[in-house]
A and B are shown apart, each in its own frame.
Chain A
């Protein structure tokens, strides 16, 4: 025993330790350091993986794919707004005023139907108070396989943080021992100390101030393709894809949760989007797909379907767009108000009227006038 104690002290001349003492120092520092990092991250929990925001602590909302899962699992809310970037400028404060709710916003930029629906399902599983889901369904991604997901998309150079969305506790180390997320936890502490308020859901993922809007930026954002002689129609295979995509990612949710109301809406892309479709010979296909979506979704009790592509005043006013699809937050606000008042609702009774107006608009529009 004495011998061991002597060995534990560094040699006075060489400063050399015994291997045993080296190991004790090394492993103590290593374990203490790792436990400390994990503890701070778990305690502050910048991704809300373990708990809701701590009372009195300021939080930054900054990354949809890292935070949306935690938000729907642990926040206190009874409504959610979700979709792609077409919904990111929506303000939950407006929704709350219109619908009398306490909403969160969990959009996914470039998100597939599946990615969005998985987040909604997690929300429904974790939060029995959730009664209203306001969710956009993008046309660009409608005719795609129902299992499309960014985690398996080879074109998206993105490592999906599956350790946040799966039930495997062992891979939580990727969250707990992660310098970037430790740094985010520290940022939250600094925000708290400097009395900086948390990001609101009105601000979260809102890109309104990052772009300029109007005809010039819209026309600069794409090249008008040459007119094609080919007409590409909606095939039976396309219809199967749409049906499967909507069934698995929209209808099943509504059927599994009959007490929850789903406001599903089709974002109105600008007239330029349909010009490109027209030039490529896919306009008919695109409109048929929209009609098929309306037919499939308009007849479910707890789904209220809204569509606004017949609103010529919106889609032809490029001052509200930054590119052929993305509109500013004024449009998000307008659509929210419309939905709250029931305007733009598609039912089995008016589906033909709606589609007829849409076809009249896009099939007869003088697209060349956009560029004059």
Chain B
């Protein structure tokens, strides 16, 4: 189920909210002995809702999600039990005391390794099997069958989330969670399929916080506002850019240099508004449940260096990679060369995580290299005027998104080559046409001569889209940068934007079939 769908917004979300707060009310009013039961019921509502949310698109993969939760819980249970046993015996086989309660030993290390291996194995099978076999076949001239497995929704997210949980369990940080809490944490539907990648320490304590069992007017206001803005970013901005990008990439050889420059810019905006819009919706929806999810984007296109960009883009992924890969590898503590190698490893993994294609790997490695170069030249870079630093960063990020989008490395290289050829600076009229918004034309039709002129000179739509995107990305404060202040303007604007987005969910499909 998508957030930007009628079923989710009009039926699913209100019903789940009612059931959830109904159960929470029972929990609040329950006697001390029965509170525990109602706590589980409240979270059970979330789990069932999340499973329905997940199964809506592919019911078969629900078993994968449920199985993954069960297996990881079981592994963490073994580790916790062993740690408790070691702690009570006060005779660790080998290892070090992490806290007053838990002790880790070699066996735990093995269990952790097995857990991570299972998680990585599952993700490898579902996401990378065909890629791996395809490359094997190409390299060794073999003929192993591809399986054409449909990628389970959100597998990269919930697997990473659980890997982090296993590591934290190994570190002794998850000792007193119940299974229901764990399942509600992993499956919590606002963040299930596209992040942010939440840590148990962020969500589970909130489930227990009595202040969050009742929906306050302020939280509702903030949630509605963030949800509306996210929906607008996704449905009205990103999807329009997406429409043009899809058209443009269908036949890149027919595009001029200028078309390709614009297409790369459109994709840069599409990806940001799509992903950050979706995360905003996730954060807004979670807030309706009185829960706070971590911020995932902090105006990334304001970045002044590639390093800065990664502190602002998909921040919870960067946090995961830093905490669970970069730092365990030694981070920057083992000398410059090792630091650079560690950065490259992290970005290689990031590239692989983003998708099973050499394009993602190349994109990740190039980001890593730029990050390393940025570190090497930090002193010089700091002296570069901010405008130039911003422009250089933006252009580099933009160009690298080309490879990210491209279906093959050779297509990506073709686009780069033709962008820099600057051979044909003519813009295809179809691009302008695709930006036209019929609903705005309908409104313009009511405005007399001015409307007629604007309808005839439809090129302004594309320019308006670009200006609006730059203004939002560069001039607006991030939604999460400061405490939400409700005003009349925000209430009216966000409600109107949400209406606009909702009535844009379902268009009218055009039948393209020219025979008979």
What is A's interface to B at a CB cutoff of 8 Å? 10, 14-23, 25-27, 29-30, 33-34, 37, 63, 65-66, 84-86, 109-111, 138, 140-141, 150, 155-161, 170-171, 173-175, 177-183, 186-187, 190, 325
Q: Could you say which of A25, A84, A179 contacts B439, with CB atoms under 8 Å apart?
A: A179
Contact call B513/A110, Cβ cutoff below 8 A: yes
Q: Given A26, A140, A161, which contacts B495 in the complex, CB threshold below 8 Å?
A: A26
Question: A178's contact among B442, B492, B503, by CB below 8 Å, is which?
Answer: B503
Contacts of A175 in B (CB 8 A): 506
Interface string of B96-112 (1 = CB under 8 A from A): 00000000000000000
State the CA gap A357–B44 with chains docked (Å). Answer: 74
* B429 at the A interface (CB under 8 A): no
Question: What are the residues of chain A within 8 A of B224 when measuring CB–CB?
Answer: 22-23, 26-27
Q: Does A33 lie within 8 Å of B495, measured CB to CB?
A: yes
B509 contacts A23, C-beta separation under 8 Å: no
B36 contacts the other chain (CB 8 A) = no
Which residue of B10, B221, B503, B512 contacts A26 across the interface (Cβ within 8 Å)?
A: B221
**In the bound complex, do residue B506 and residue A156 qualify as a contact, i.e. CB atoms below 8 Å apart?**
no
CA distance A156 to B516 in the complex (A): 13
CB of A327, distance to nearest CB on chain B (Å) = 12
15 contacts between A and B (CB under 8 A): A15-B487, A22-B487, A26-B228, A26-B494, A29-B495, A30-B498, A110-B515, A156-B511, A158-B511, A161-B509, A177-B506, A179-B438, A179-B503, A179-B504, A183-B438
Residue ID in chain B nearest A85 by CB atoms: B516
Whole-angstrom distance between the Cβ of A94 and the nearest chain B Cβ: 22
B163 contacts the other chain (CB 8 A): no
A30: chain B residues within 8 A (beta carbon): 495, 498-499
Q: Which residues of B contact A10 (CB under 8 A)?
A: 487-488
Q: Would B487 and A17 count as touching, CB distance under 8 A?
A: yes
Most buried by A among B6, B498, B511: B511
Q: Which B475-504 residues sit within 8 Å CB-CB of chain A? A: 485-492, 494-496, 498-500, 502-504
Cβ contact within 8 Å between B516 and A84: yes
| Chain A residues whose CB sits within 8 angstroms of the CB of B442 once the complex forms | 183, 186-187
Of the candidates A19, A27, A177, A190, which one forms a contact with B216 in the assembled complex, judged by CB atoms under 8 Å apart? A19
Interface of B is mostly: helix
Main secondary structure, interface of A, reads helix
B220 in the interface (beta carbon within 8 A): yes
A25 touches B488 (CB 8 A): yes
Complex interface: chain B residues within 8 A of A174 (CB): 6, 505-506
Determine if A109 and B511 form an interchain contact, defined as CB atoms under 8 angstroms apart. Answer: yes
The answer to whether A157 and B488 touch across the interface, beta carbons within 8 angstroms, is no
Residues 418-475 of B at the A interface (beta carbon under 8 Å): 438-439, 442, 445
Also in contact, A141 and B516, with CB within 8 A (given A180-B508, A182-B503): yes
Question: Chain B nearest CB: distance from A109 CB in Å?
Answer: 7
List chain A residues, Cβ under 8 A from B222: 19
Expressed in whole angstroms, the minimum distance between the Cβ of A190 and any Cβ of chain B is: 8
Closest residue on chain B to residue A86 by CB atoms: B516
Given A150-B511, A180-B438; A26-B491 close (CB under 8 Å): yes
- Say whether B6 contacts A25, CB under 8 Å: no
In whole angstroms, how far apart are the Cα atoms of A34 and B6 in the complex?
Answer: 12
Is B507's CB within 8 Å of the partner chain A? yes
Q: Which of B214-233 contact A (CB under 8 A)?
A: 216-222, 224-225, 228
Q: Which of A14, A19, A158 contacts B220 (CB 8 A)?
A: A19
User: With A25-B495, A30-B495 given, is the CB distance from A109 to B508 under 8 Å?
Assistant: no
A143 to chain B, nearest CB (A): 14
- Chain A residues lying within 8 Å of B438, measured Cβ to Cβ, are 179-180, 183
**Chain B residues near A18 (CB, 8 Å)?**
217, 486
A64 and B369 CA atoms in complex are apart in Å by 55
Chain B positions within 8 Å of A21 at CB level: 486, 491
A18–B11 CA distance with the chains assembled, in angstroms: 27
> Which single member of B11, B225, B504, B516 contacts A140 (CB below 8 Å)?
B516
Distance between Cα atoms of A30 and B516 in the complex (Å): 44
Q: In this complex, what residue of B is CB-closest to A170?
A: B11
Bound Cα distance from A18 to B222, whole angstroms = 11
* A110 and B487 in contact, given A23-B221, A33-B496, A85-B516 (Cβ under 8 angstroms): no
Q: Which residues of A contact B503 (CB under 8 A)?
A: 34, 37, 177-179, 182
A20 touches B511 (CB 8 A): no
Asked if B516 and A110 sit within 8 Å, CB to CB, the answer is yes
The closest CB in chain B to the CB of A175 belongs to B506
Across-interface contacts of B11 in A (CB, < 8 A): 170
Query: Which residues in B have their C-beta under 8 angstroms from that of A158?
Result: 509-513
A7 vs B135: C-alpha distance in the bound complex, in angstroms? 65
Q: A22-B221, A110-B514, A158-B512 are in contact. List 19 more A-B contacts (CB 8 A).
A: A10-B488, A16-B487, A19-B219, A19-B220, A19-B221, A26-B225, A26-B494, A29-B499, A30-B499, A37-B499, A37-B503, A141-B516, A150-B511, A155-B513, A156-B513, A170-B11, A174-B6, A181-B508, A182-B439
